[in-house]
A = this chain, B = another copy of it.
Amino acid sequence: MIVLAVDCMGGDHGLSVTLPACRQFLDNHPDAQLLLVGRPDDLQGFAHERARVVPATEVVAMEDAVEVALRKKKDSSMRVAIQQVKDGAAQAAVSAGNTGALMAIARYLLKTLEGIERPAIATQMPNAKGSATTVLDLGANVDCTAEHLLQFAVMGSALVSVLKNDDQPTVGLLNIGEEAIKGSDEIKRAGELLRAAKASGDLNFIGNVEGNDIFKGTADIVVCDGFVGNVALKTSEGLAMMIVQFLREEFSRNLLTKLAAAVSYPVLSALKKRMDHRRYNGAALLGLRGLVFKSHGSADAVAFEQALCRAYDAASHQLLARVQSRIAHAAPLLAAPARPAVPSVA
């Protein structure tokens, strides 16, 4: 039995999205159980034999400062959901709330794994191969050292080994050119560490990749600092929205184009389905001593259910143990000095 703790109050739409998603999820997963965290009055109407209400009197608002969420709202649905993971009552927590608050509370309650300095946020983006590229970090860390990027690569590999059932997923380092000499000093040093991790069998590193490779699907995992990852994600969202707007405008221009839209309906809806960001909802907070998944704040019920599925998959495939074992295997590298030491002659 997989048990997930759900922050039912979080996100832009709260209960109106989380509860229908929970019901759909339970119907599709007969071996799953949900802990519905939130105000009991709001949740009592939800009756299901595999769901149980866990009370929480407060709600972290989308605009709450991290400090407020962490220090003042100690009985928030977000915090109580993560506490369930810490207490062993649930294998994973899912929330659509404020990302900064979620990361801060998760880090405070669960602590980071041995060997990990900074947790990271990993998400999936669709690629031209019909698959998905996992990108991390997405904004948890604005300044990263080469060692952090190596840790992200190891954690991302563990995540993808679960999602894709592939033990040697490929890793690319996001850079501004394919040549090893490109990028800042920190990026070049990250390249050295990643090459060492390939040599030691810890990673299937394929070298530098560029922004377009995310959508080409050149590597299963693309590693970058949180600033760059966040910009890449948001830029893509902006471009996709603009293209949808252009398509809508062009197809509604006059009677003929409207007719074309009607004739093209099956094509356009197939395209929409392939591009549907809801299918990729559910970012993993990696590097913590417990599983936490973040849904997009504006998720609808279909998207939120995806985030629940992702948490379920991670829990049922022992993502935490896999991350820990990969981190342990790579420990000599993660603890190594920045530059390879001169080999001892002893």
The B-contacting residues of A in range 198-238, CB under 8 angstroms, are 210-216, 224, 226-228, 230-238
Q: Is the CB of A183 within 8 A of B227?
A: yes
Contact of A239 among B184, B185, B236, B253 (CB under 8 A): B236
Tell me, in angstroms, the Cα distance from A305 to B88 when the chains sit together: 65
A336 in the interface (beta carbon within 8 A):
no
A250 contacts across to B, CB distance below 8 A: 267, 270-271, 274
Q: Is the CB of A243 within 8 A of B243?
A: yes
Closest to A271 in B: B250
Q: Is the CB of B234 within 8 A of A212?
A: yes
A246 in the interface (beta carbon within 8 A):
yes
Contact of A212 among B126, B210, B238, B243 (CB under 8 A): B238
Interface centre among A139, A231, A256 (most CB of B within 10 A): A231
The B-contacting residues of A in range 153-177, CB under 8 angstroms, are 174, 176
Tell me, in angstroms, the Cα distance from A255 to B230 when the chains sit together: 41
- For residue A31, give the distance in angstroms from its CB to the closest CB of chain B: 35
- For residue A207, give the distance in angstroms from its CB to the closest CB of chain B: 16
Q: Is the CB of B230 within 8 A of A176?
A: yes
The B-contacting residues of A in range 122-146, CB under 8 angstroms, are 126-128, 139, 142-143
A180 in the interface (beta carbon within 8 A):
no
Known contacts A215-B242, A256-B266: A247-B235 contact under CB 8 Å: no
Please report whether the interface of chain A is mostly helix, strand, loop or mixed according to DSSP: helix
Q: Is the CB of A212 within 8 A of B183?
A: no
Contact of A257 among B215, B231, B267 (CB under 8 A): B267
A346 in the interface (beta carbon within 8 A):
no
Contact of A176 among B215, B226, B274 (CB under 8 A): B226
Q: Is the CB of A214 within 8 A of B238?
A: yes
A280 in the interface (beta carbon within 8 A):
no
Number of A residues with CB within 8 Å of any CB on chain B: 56
Contact of A211 among B232, B257, B264 (CB under 8 A): B232
Interface centre among A127, A216, A224, A250 (most CB of B within 10 A): A250
Q: Is the CB of B260 within 8 A of A237?
A: no
Contact with B along A251-275 (1 / 0, CB 8 A): 1010011011101101100110011
Tell me, in angstroms, the Cα distance from A238 to B260 when the chains sit together: 27
A24 contacts across to B, CB distance below 8 A: none
Q: Is the CB of A235 within 8 A of B215?
A: yes
Q: Is the CB of B176 within 8 A of A231?
A: yes
A212 contacts across to B, CB distance below 8 A: 234-235, 237-238, 241
Q: Is the CB of A211 within 8 A of B184?
A: no
Q: Is the CB of A235 within 8 A of B236?
A: yes
Contact of A235 among B211, B257, B260 (CB under 8 A): B211
Known: A246-B274, A264-B264. 19 other contacts (CB 8 A): A128-B245, A176-B226, A176-B230, A187-B227, A210-B230, A211-B233, A211-B238, A212-B235, A214-B238, A215-B241, A216-B238, A216-B241, A224-B231, A227-B228, A228-B231, A232-B232, A250-B274, A260-B263, A263-B264
The 7 closest A-B pairs by CB, nearest first: A211-B234, A212-B238, A211-B235, A215-B238, A260-B264, A176-B230, A215-B242
